[in-house]
Amino acid sequence: MLTFILRRLLVAIPTILILIVISFVLMFAAPGGPFNAERPLPPDVMANIEARYGLDQPYAVQIFNYVKNIVLHFDFGPSFKYRDQTVSGLIAQGFPVTLTYGTWAFAVAVVFGVALGVVAAVRQNTWVDYLATGSAIGASVLPNFVLGPLLVLVFTLWLGWLPAGGWYGGQWQYVILPVAALATSYLAAIARIMRSSMLEVMNSGFIRTARAKGLPMRRIILRHALKPAILPVLSYLGPAFVAMITGSVVVDVFFSTGGIGQYFVNAALNRDYSVIMGVTILVGVLTIVFNLLVDILYAWIDPKIRY
């Protein structure tokens, strides 16, 4: 098990480095520097600014310093547009918000998705089943940037139950709609995956044996069927995580939650390279770490896997 984790780490580290190098190469390849304004700055001022941000050094040195600062001090450098802000500072402001509703959305999607999938499989061809499969199709044509406006239309404008946006320290009224907008399509996807794998497991030999022994249905499902059936869901969690973290950008912008996505989009509109790069790298690292955790969990649950 330990060698398995170590081997996965050996893959994860180069992946992160590749991501950093890609972002850096893109930035160097950019036409015009980040400080090219409409009215050109005097050369000595320009030189001063570049020295301040370390842009006068050779590229290799810049990359090395950048990585070193991230690893040692969690410092992604200063923002190129807001003189008083550092990228780490922006991340520290926005990340807790994103993390809060992101975790909720993830938990809701997994728990309810799995439950819905199990019920749909056990009560195959009943209304629960049709609801689960039908909503899975519906959710795949309603990505979060469509669902968000629709939710606000229904729950804010028509029913007047929930606020349309804002965060206010994460009071529950303000969390519900972002979580719903983010979680729904993954909930549906997980339900669909869980349903088909559960159907397969329920038709296998060891379940028939358990039923022949006269075990109650609840026990069969919880003790025998759930564990093997959940494996395909586990391998979907990695892609779902990436998709959710991407979707959080839309949620942040649309619901003005003040999460990391809002800074990211603002930075993109202002061509604030260092913020974009910092967020991209942070998200990449999170993704890779998460994939690692999923792999470990998978290996732990599935006795058939060799490592």
Binding status of residue 253 toward another protein by CB under 8 A: yes
Site for another protein in 211-240 (CB under 8 A): 238
In the list 1, 2, 3, 31, the residue contacting another protein (rule: CB under 8 A) is 31
Token pair of 212, please? 């022949």
Single-letter code of the amino acid located at 6:
L
Site for another protein in 135-194 (CB under 8 A): 137, 140-143, 145-146, 148-149, 152-153, 156-157, 164
Q: Which residues, numbered 102-141, are part of the site for another protein (CB under 8 A)?
A: 137, 140-141
Please state, as a whole number, how many other Cβ atoms lie within 10 Å of the Cβ of residue 31. 5
Q: Which is nearer to another protein, 22 or 99 (CB)?
A: 22
Per DSSP, 77 falls in state -
Touching another protein, residues 35-54 (CB under 8 A): none
Cα–Cα distance for residue pair 10/148, rounded to 1 Å: 39
Confirm or reject binding of residue 6 to another protein (CB under 8 A).
no
The conformation of residue 42, written as its DSSP 8-state character, comes to P
Binding window for another protein (CB under 8 A); candidates: 10-18, 94-102, 203-211, 225-233: 10-18
In the complex, the smallest distance separating the C-beta of residue 223 from another protein, rounded to whole angstroms, is: 31
Nearer to another protein, 158 or 172 (CB): 158
Q: How far is CA 79 from each of CA 28, 34, 86, 278, rounded to the nearest angstrom? A: 16, 11, 5, 10
Q: Does 297 bind another protein (CB under 8 A)?
A: no
Q: Which is nearer to another protein, 26 or 222 (CB)?
A: 26
Whole-angstrom distance, CA of residue 265 vs CA of residue 224: 46
Specify whether the CB–CB gap between 299 and 307 falls below 8 A.
yes
Q: How many Å apart are CA 71 and CA 73, to the nearest integer?
A: 6
- Sign of the C-alpha dihedral, residues 41, 46, 50, 56? positive
149 vs 144: CA distance, rounded Å: 9
Smallest distance from the beta carbon of 145 to another protein, in angstroms? Answer: 4
Per CB under 8 A, the list member of 13, 26, 47, 297 interacting with another protein is 26
Tokens of 300: 């732990």
Of the candidate residues 23, 62, 98, 184, the single one contacting another protein (CB under 8 A) = 23
In the chain, count of helices (H) and strands (E)? 13, 0
Q: Exposure of 260 by Cβ count < 10 A (0-12 exposed, 13-18 middle, 19+ buried)? A: buried
**Residues 58, 213, 269, 303: which binds another protein (CB under 8 A)?**
269
Would you tell me which residues interact with another protein (CB under 8 A)? Answer: 11, 14-15, 18-19, 22-23, 26-27, 29-31, 137, 140-143, 145-146, 148-149, 152-153, 156-157, 164, 238, 242, 245-246, 249-250, 253-254, 264-265, 268-269, 271, 273, 276-277, 279-280, 283-284, 287-288, 291
